[in-house]
Chain A
Amino acid sequence: MATPRGAATRGPGRRSRLHRLDLRVSPYAYVAPFFLLFAAFGIFPLVYTAWVSLHDWNLLSSDNPFIGLDNYTALFADGYFWNAAFNTLSIGVLSAVPQLLLALLLAHLLNRPLRAQTLFRITLLLPNVTSVVAVVVIFSQLFGRDFGLINMVLDWLGFGRINWQAGVATSHVAIAVMIMWRWTGYNALIYLAAMQAVPKEIYEAATLDGASSLKQLWSITLPMIRPTVIFTVIVTTIGSMQIIAEPLLFGAQVSNGAAATGGTDRQFQTLALYLYEKGFRSFEFGYASAAAWVMFLLVVVVVGVNYLVVRRMRGGLDA
């Protein structure tokens, strides 16, 4: 920034002082609104969670005694917490793995000269524009026991009707389908964006060598877009660990009053829903904050493991 400073020193004293002040202060003034609002409503609650988690803190209680790690001890002793942890992992795996694989395949298909390219892209992204609430309302009808379209088709094919909400496995599949439906197209577009940056000549050479389309996806595309794959794996993992609206609404659609428990037997209560139940149904702020911190640590661990796994895949792909 030599030029503006040089220009400033030429001016009369007052103006150049103002100018220097402008250069020095403006950057901070421009980032300040963001950081002030973000500190108050983003960072502060995050940090304060740790403090609250060390207290016996309720909505109505006037004094909130410090109880050390008692909330954490109680949390680890609670079978419902571990049940929720299991459900979160199960729904996460069931939704994320097929979702990302399908997205990769779709992006591969879209990454070639196609008619109606834009129409395909818009249709694929349509589910992502739909709100979670709308998705669950629609799919709860589709998965309905008596009048659901899916059971109607299963019945017609001779498989009989399934009570999707009742079982552990079936309810997890139903919720995973909702999540997949909403996010597969989105991830496909992100992969497509990365694939378009891969030089076309590589594919032409591979085609001349007789490499099949799938082989090209596996040995050329995947290694080339690895940073994007890692990015989507991390973002999808973080998202999976926070699933709440789907089980909450799915429960409310089916068994009234059992919404926060994730089904009558807690068969699809996720960690985030457990946190909601403790924090906003029984208003045990201290206990719920402890659950939030443990959830955060779990997110870090799972993201870390996934990151390592995807990174290791490199060796397999390059070899």
Chain B
Amino acid sequence: MRRSHPLTYLTLVAVAFFSAFPIYWSVIVASHDNAALAEVPPPLLPGGNFFANVRRVFDTAPFALALLNSFVVAGSITVSVMFFSTLAGFAFAKLRFRGRNVLLLMTVVTMMVPTQLGIIPLYMLMIKLEWTGTMYAVIVPALVNAFGVFFMTQYLSRALPTELLEAGRIDGCSTARLFWHVVVPAARPAAAVLGMLTFMTAWNDYFWPLVVLTPDNPTVQVALSQLASGYVRDFTLGLTGTAVATLPLVLIFVLLGKQIIGGIMQGAVKG
């Protein structure tokens, strides 16, 4: 086996430093006041102003509402994507029906089409449905996506033994019973990864919520962008908001990072 050169470690440590530093810097700025930013050299350790700044963030923008909205939005999208992707993935991977290959191909092709291109009619549709300014406009279009279906199809065709399903059939199981008692338990690891990725994407989504929501009822990313683009240059406020908006995800990531990485690397190898 090849041994690893010290230079390898040096390079990796340097890259890791540049990956982590901007986030660390946001914590530093968020825990000082604006005056500290002008100092030369700038502060390199966190200060004691963080909670005072957080208070200011919640006073300046509807951040509590935004956090609640984002949890509702990301939560419902995640549950829905996990469920419908497993359902459709099971059908594509293990059931036989006419048109299966064509439908699966359509799913894969649409994964490649930039969704941004349909954004004008989608907005017109939201006006028609009178959903603009409400969370429906953010949740409903994201309830399913082609990537989720493709991801679960890939996983289930590998991880779900056909013999198990056939044994269930012989015992007289209906397809629905097979789904709940055989497929769902087998799909759990991949569905969990899909769920984490979906939650991350939904939590971080910015462009569509910006278009379709109003400043008084925002998601956390929309609230953050408003907080950071006020007329007064208040970097402390902006970066404290950043810390509050990012912390829940970073926490989840540090706790479940290994599985998330596994999921990304798994999804990457598509035959």
Contact = CB atoms under 8 A, between A and B. Distances in A.
Q: Do the two chains bind?
A: yes
Given A4-B169, A33-B144, A134 B224 contact: yes
Interface string A1-17: 10110010001000000
Contact of B100 (A27, A45, A256): A27
Q: Is the interface of B mostly helix, strand, loop or mixed?
A: helix
Contacts, number: 290
Interface residues on B, range: 35 or more
Name the residue in B88, B100, B239 with the highest tally of chain A Cβ atoms < 10 Å from its Cβ.
Answer: B88
* Most chain B CB neighbours (cut-off 10 Å) among A27, A42, A185: A27
Contact of A48 (B18, B85, B118): B118
A30 B117 contact: no
Interface string A246-267: 0001001100100100000000
A203 to B, nearest CB: 7
Interface string A271-314: 01001100110000100110011011001000000000000000
A244 B185 CA distance: 40
B164 interface: no
Given A22-B175, A138-B242, A38 B113 contact: no
Contacts of A144: 235
A299 B116 CA distance: 12
Contacts of A46: 113, 115, 117-118, 121
Interface string B97-141: 100100100010010111111111111110000000000000011
A272 to B, nearest CB: 6
Contacts of B140: 37, 41
Given A30-B88, A49-B117, A122-B261, A228 B176 contact: no
Contacts of B115: 42, 46
B22 A139 contact: yes
B84 A134 contact: no
Contact of B268 (A149, A189, A238): A189
Interface stretch (B34-42, B46-54, B186-194): B34-42
B80 to A, nearest CB: 9
B257 interface: yes
Interface residues of A, number: 103
A124 B19 contact: yes
A75 interface: no
Interface string A29-44: 0110111011001111
Given A27-B95, A34-B84, A131-B221, A228 B1 contact: no
Interface of A: 1, 3-4, 7, 11, 19, 22-24, 26-28, 30-31, 33-35, 37-38, 41-46, 48-49, 52, 106, 109-110, 112-115, 118-127, 129-135, 137-142, 144, 146-147, 149, 152, 181, 185-186, 189-190, 192-194, 197, 200, 203-204, 207, 213, 228, 231, 234, 238, 241-242, 244-245, 249, 252-253, 256, 259, 272, 275-276, 279-280, 285, 288-289, 292-293, 295-296, 299
